[in-house]
């Protein structure tokens, strides 16, 4: 059971490409500041992707332009 649970999260990230954008943003911030700091902005995120992030992170994200 423990081995199976180790594979759940990587599979979830691979199934949802929005996480690739998010992790790329983390990497760029780390390269820039040398630590995990700052704000990551994702552009052109679909409603579905936004809902995936909201569900995973437990926080609501709203578009600031043109809803």
- 33 within some domain: yes
- 67 within some domain: no
Please report the beta strands in the chain, taking only residues with DSSP state E, as ranges in sequence order: none
What's this model's pTM, rounded to 2 decimal places?
Answer: 0.74
Instruction: Give the separation between CA 52 and CA 55, rounded to whole angstroms.
Output: 5
Confidence of residue 31 (pLDDT cuts 50, 70, 90): very high
- End-to-end CA, the chain: 43
Instruction: Give the separation between CA 1 and CA 20, rounded to whole angstroms.
Output: 27
Q: How confident is the model at residue 17, as a pLDDT?
A: 93
- For residues 20-37, give the mean pLDDT: 92
- 64 within some domain: no
Q: Domain tally for the chain?
A: 1
Confidence of residue 2 (pLDDT cuts 50, 70, 90): low
Please give the residue range of the domain that contains residue 42. Answer: 2-57
């Amino acid at each position: 059971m423990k081995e199976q649970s180790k594979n759940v999260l990587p599979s979830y990230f691979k199934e949802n490409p929005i996480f690739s954008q998010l992790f790329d943003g983390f990497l760029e911030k780390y390269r820039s500041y040398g630590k995990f700091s700052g704000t990551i902005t994702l552009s052109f995120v679909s409603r579905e992707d936004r809902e995936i992030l909201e569900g995973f992170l437990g926080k609501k994200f709203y578009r600031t332009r043109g809803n």
